[in-house]
């Protein structure tokens, strides 16, 4: 009997099962659920970040277009002011410039009308020069404002794009974490499956080892033989006697092959009178064994079977500490075998064999009682022999 399975405080496949169960419940399942729950928020964050990046890019493009337009207006005003300032008294050139400028800036219409009314007067040149100086200053100021606004929008757009990139990076990081969590969950799930497979292989190996033990094989052999002997002990036929003799020989050595010589050995174990009576009964078509011989043989069968049961239950209890999943065989009971199927744990040993004395059929006390017996009924004659009424 391998002792490694009955030592306390030693690692066994049961502890391996417990570790696998703990991994499955605490790490694999939790990690997988957390990964699935985390995947959706990260996907939303990634989508929001991409939308923010697109919005920031569109705003930056709009701001740039507006800034370009203002720069263009400022450049035109600056050039017009420089043109008027070069010769403010040249009425034809100044009025031509204003006529062109009104088409782009309608607000110049008032100044153009004033200059038209001052043609041919010294005031024309003064008004034109004053406009040129004022327009130049305003144009310069407008350019400064436009450049400042463009820079500010550029900075804001850059911040928006940077923020969007950050959001995408965070979303990607979250996705990576989710994938990592799923990978870890899969790793633990595979470890659980491997541990369970190893535990199942150990369980199968233990079952095979247990069933190959001599005491287990002998006990499995003895169970049906004892049952058959119990049914044959009260039957007065040659076949029943052969069944009982076979049971006695087989229970004494379950691994042996019963031969005819062993039958003769059992018959010769009785007294000479028993041997004679057995031969006489055989001639009459009854059993070769006397009731006393049958009782002696049955007692020996029960006693030897009890020894096999004790060996089996002792081994069963030893395996119980290390392999509770091995199902037990039915234990022999008094008069019959237990019909209980193999269980997930071990069954407690039986209370043992309770051998009831073989009383046999009753003996008629008078001829009237004998006549009242039906044909084929068994009875005990005055010599103690069991007979069958014709």
CA–CA distance from 317 to each of 10, 306, 310, 324, 342 (Å)?
Answer: 17, 16, 11, 10, 15
CA dihedral 279→281→285→289, nearest 10 degrees, is: -80
**Rounded Cα gap, residues 285 and 166, in angstroms:** 106
**273-319 residue pLDDT tens:** 344 344 444 534 555 677 887 888 888 889 889 998 999 888 888 87
**Rounded Cα gap, residues 386 and 236, in angstroms:** 7
- Looking only at the bridges linking them, the beta strands covering 378-380 and 386-388 are antiparallel
If one compares 303 and 257, the residue with the highest pLDDT of the two is 303
Roughly how many angstroms between the first and final C-alpha of the chain, as a whole number? 56
**pLDDT (mean) for 137-155:** 58
Phi, then psi, of 388 in degrees rounded to 5:
-120, 125
- Return the top range by mean pLDDT from 98-107, 128-137, 282-291, 370-379: 370-379
**pLDDT (mean) for 48-77:** 65
In this predicted structure, the answer to whether residue 226 has a pLDDT above a threshold of 80 is yes
Half-sphere exposure (Cβ direction) of 43: Cα atoms closer than 13 Å: 7
In this predicted structure, the answer to whether residue 51 has a pLDDT above a threshold of 50 is yes
Tokens matching residue 91: 């009425």
- Residue 261: CB atoms within 10 Å: 8
pLDDT band at residue 39 using 50, 70 and 90 as cut-offs: low
Query: With contact defined as beta carbons under 8 Å apart, do 247 and 301 qualify?
Result: yes
* pLDDT of amino acid 182: 63
pLDDT band at residue 171 using 50, 70 and 90 as cut-offs: low
Least confident of 67-71, 208-212, 271-275: 271-275
In this predicted structure, the answer to whether residue 185 has a pLDDT above a threshold of 80 is no
Give, to the nearest 10 degrees, the angle between helix 122-211 and helix 291-320: 150
Query: With contact defined as beta carbons under 8 Å apart, do 291 and 384 qualify?
Result: yes
Q: Which residues are CB-contacts of 322 (< 8 A; sequence separation ≥ 6)?
A: 4, 5, 6, 12, 14, 206
pTM: 0.35
**Rounded Cα gap, residues 311 and 297, in angstroms:** 21
- Long-range CB contacts (< 8 A, 24+ apart) of 39-46? 39/175, 39/178, 41/174, 42/171, 42/174, 42/175, 42/177, 42/178, 43/171, 43/175, 45/167, 45/170, 45/171, 45/174, 46/167, 46/168, 46/171, 46/172, 46/174, 46/175
Residue 380 pairs in a beta bridge with 386
What residue spans define the domains of the chain?
A: 3-209, 214-325, 360-390
* pLDDT of amino acid 295: 86
If one compares 273 and 23, the residue with the highest pLDDT of the two is 23
Q: What is the mean pLDDT of the chain?
A: 66
Exposure string over 304-329, b if 16+ CB within 10 A, otherwise e: bbbebbebbbebbebbbebbebbebb
pLDDT band at residue 168 using 50, 70 and 90 as cut-offs: low
Tally the residues of the chain: 390
């Amino acid at each position: 009997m391998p002792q490694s399975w009955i030592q306390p405080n030693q690692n066994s496949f049961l502890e391996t099962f417990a570790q696998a169960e703990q991994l499955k419940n605490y790490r694999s399942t939790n990690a997988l659920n957390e990964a699935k729950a985390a995947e959706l928020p990260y996907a939303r964050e990634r989508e929001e970040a991409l939308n923010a990046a697109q919005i920031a890019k569109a705003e930056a493009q709009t701001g740039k277009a507006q800034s370009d337009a203002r720069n263009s207006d400022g450049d035109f005003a600056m050039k017009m002011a420089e043109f008027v300032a070069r010769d403010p008294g040249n009425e034809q050139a100044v009025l031509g410039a204003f006529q062109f400028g009104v088409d782009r800036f309608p607000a110049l219409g008032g100044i153009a009308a004033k200059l038209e009314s001052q043609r041919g007067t010294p005031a024309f040149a003064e008004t034109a020069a004053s406009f040129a100086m004022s327009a130049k200053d305003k144009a310069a100021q407008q350019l400064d404002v436009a450049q400042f606004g463009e820079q500010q929008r550029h900075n804001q757009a850059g911040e928006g794009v940077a923020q969007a990139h950050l959001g995408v990076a965070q979303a990607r990081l979250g996705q990576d974490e989710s994938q990592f969590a799923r990978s870890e969950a899969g790793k633990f799930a595979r470890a659980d499956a491997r541990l369970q497979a190893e535990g199942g292989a150990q369980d199968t190996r233990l079952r095979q080892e247990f069933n190959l033990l001599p005491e287990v094989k002998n006990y499995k052999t003895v169970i049906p033989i004892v049952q058959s002997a119990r049914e044959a002990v009260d039957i007065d036929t040659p076949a029943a006697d052969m069944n009982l003799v076979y049971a006695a020989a087989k229970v004494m050595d379950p691994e042996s092959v019963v031969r005819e010589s062993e039958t003769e050995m059992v018959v010769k174990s009785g007294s000479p009178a028993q041997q004679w009576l057995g031969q006489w009964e055989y001639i009459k078509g009854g059993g070769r064994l006397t009731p006393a011989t049958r009782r002696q043989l049955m007692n020996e069968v029960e006693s030897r079977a009890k020894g096999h049961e004790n060996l089996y239950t002792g081994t069963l209890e030893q395996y119980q500490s290390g392999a509770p999943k091995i199902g037990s065989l039915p234990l022999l009971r008094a008069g019959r075998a237990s019909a209980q199927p193999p269980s997930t744990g071990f069954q407690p040993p039986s209370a043992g064999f309770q051998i009831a004395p073989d009383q046999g059929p009753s003996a008629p006390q008078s001829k009237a009682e004998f006549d009242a017996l039906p044909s084929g009924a068994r009875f005990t004659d005055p010599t103690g022999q069991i007979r069958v009424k014709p």
